[in-house]
Structures are given as structure tokens and as C-alpha cells.
């Protein structure tokens, strides 16, 4: 019974406070976000950096797997780049580089999925709070990955 009274009182208070006082103007903000695009990008870059370095298992797995793949492909295709006498040798060298890059990219993509799923929920919360828009966040992610 007490909960219903509090609820009713809160609804009445909201209705009362929703009506502006005479002689006042509504709130006005010139932009949707408090900071410009560049500052939003810097904040997102800073957040990406901390998120990456605060996840040692992810970093360790990427480092170990990259080392393993480098040793594996290095031994498989040893001295392949020195052979360039025929078209077949050149195609074999290009194919080995393609295979190594593709394999490493797919592995890194699959290992980053748990990290991205956690970051996505944080992004939704911070975007709903009006901290930044989606464009600076995506731009910062691409810039951090490329650096």
C-alpha cells in the first residue's frame, strides 16, 4: 500500500515539475554532444588503449599465436622468396604470403570476438549517456587497430 502512495506521489511530482514556470525558457543545447568530434575521438582512443592493455590473456594469446604461425609458415616456405625464375615460383611465393596473412587475420578475428562483445555493451551504455556518437568510436577503433 505504501508503494502505491509513493508511486502516485512521484507521478504527481513529475507532472508538476514538467510544467515550466512562467517567464522561463526551455533548456537549449547547441549540439547533441558536449565535446567536438576530435575530443570524442581522443577519448575513445584513450579508452581503447586501456581496454586493450587491461586484457593480458587476449594480448598473450595473440602474441603466442602470431609467433607460432610465423615459425610454422617460416619453416614451410623457407627459401621460397629466393626462387623467382619461373612464373610458378612467383605464384607460389605470393600464395604463401596470402595464406599466411589470411590465416593470421582469421585467427585474430576469432580471438577478438569475446573482447568485442564486452566492449559493445559498454559502447551502448556510454552512447546512451551521450558521451560520444558512433562515428568517433568507430574511427578510434580503426585508428587503434591500424597503429
How far is 142 from 70, CA to CA, in rounded Å?
A: 24
pLDDT more than 90, % of the chain: 16
4-37 pLDDT, tens digit per residue, is: 889 899 999 999 888 888 888 877 778 888 888 9
Helix residue ranges per DSSP H, the chain: 2-17, 37-53, 56-76, 87-128, 134-146
Q: Is the pTM of this model over 0.85?
A: no
Delimit the domains of the chain by residue range: 37-146
Question: Under 8 Å CB-to-CB from 136, ≥6 apart: which residues?
Answer: 37, 40, 41, 43, 44
Question: Under 8 Å CB-to-CB from 40, ≥6 apart: which residues?
Answer: 33, 131, 132, 133, 136, 137
- From 51-55, 85-89, 126-130, the region with the lowest mean pLDDT: 51-55
How far is 70 from 103, CA to CA, in rounded Å?
A: 11
Quick one: DSSP state of residue 34? S
For residue 97, pLDDT beyond 70:
yes
Q: How far is CA 90 from CA 38, 52, 73, 94, in A?
A: 45, 38, 17, 6
Q: If DSSP codes are grouped into helix, strand and coil, which group holds residue 20?
A: coil
Amino acid at each position: 500500500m505504501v508503494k502505491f502512495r509513493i508511486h502516485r506521489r512521484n507521478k504527481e511530482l513529475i507532472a508538476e515539475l514538467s510544467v515550466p514556470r512562467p517567464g522561463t525558457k526551455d533548456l537549449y543545447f547547441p549540439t547533441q554532444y558536449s565535446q567536438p568530434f576530435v575530443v570524442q575521438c581522443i577519448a575513445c582512443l584513450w579508452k581503447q588503449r586501456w581496454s586493450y592493455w587491461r586484457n593480458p590473456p587476449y594480448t598473450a594469446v595473440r602474441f603466442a599465436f602470431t609467433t607460432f604461425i610465423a615459425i610454422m609458415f617460416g619453416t614451410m616456405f623457407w627459401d621460397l622468396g629466393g626462387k623467382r625464375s619461373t612464373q610458378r615460383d612467383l605464384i607460389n611465393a605470393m600464395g604463401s604470403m596470402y595464406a599466411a596473412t589470411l590465416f593470421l587475420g582469421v585467427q585474430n578475428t576469432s580471438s577478438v570476438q569475446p573482447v568485442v562483445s564486452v566492449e559493445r555493451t559498454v559502447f551502448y551504455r556510454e552512447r546512451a549517456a551521450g558521451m560520444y556518437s558512433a562515428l568517433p568510436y568507430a574511427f578510434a577503433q580503426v585508428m587503434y587497430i591500424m597503429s
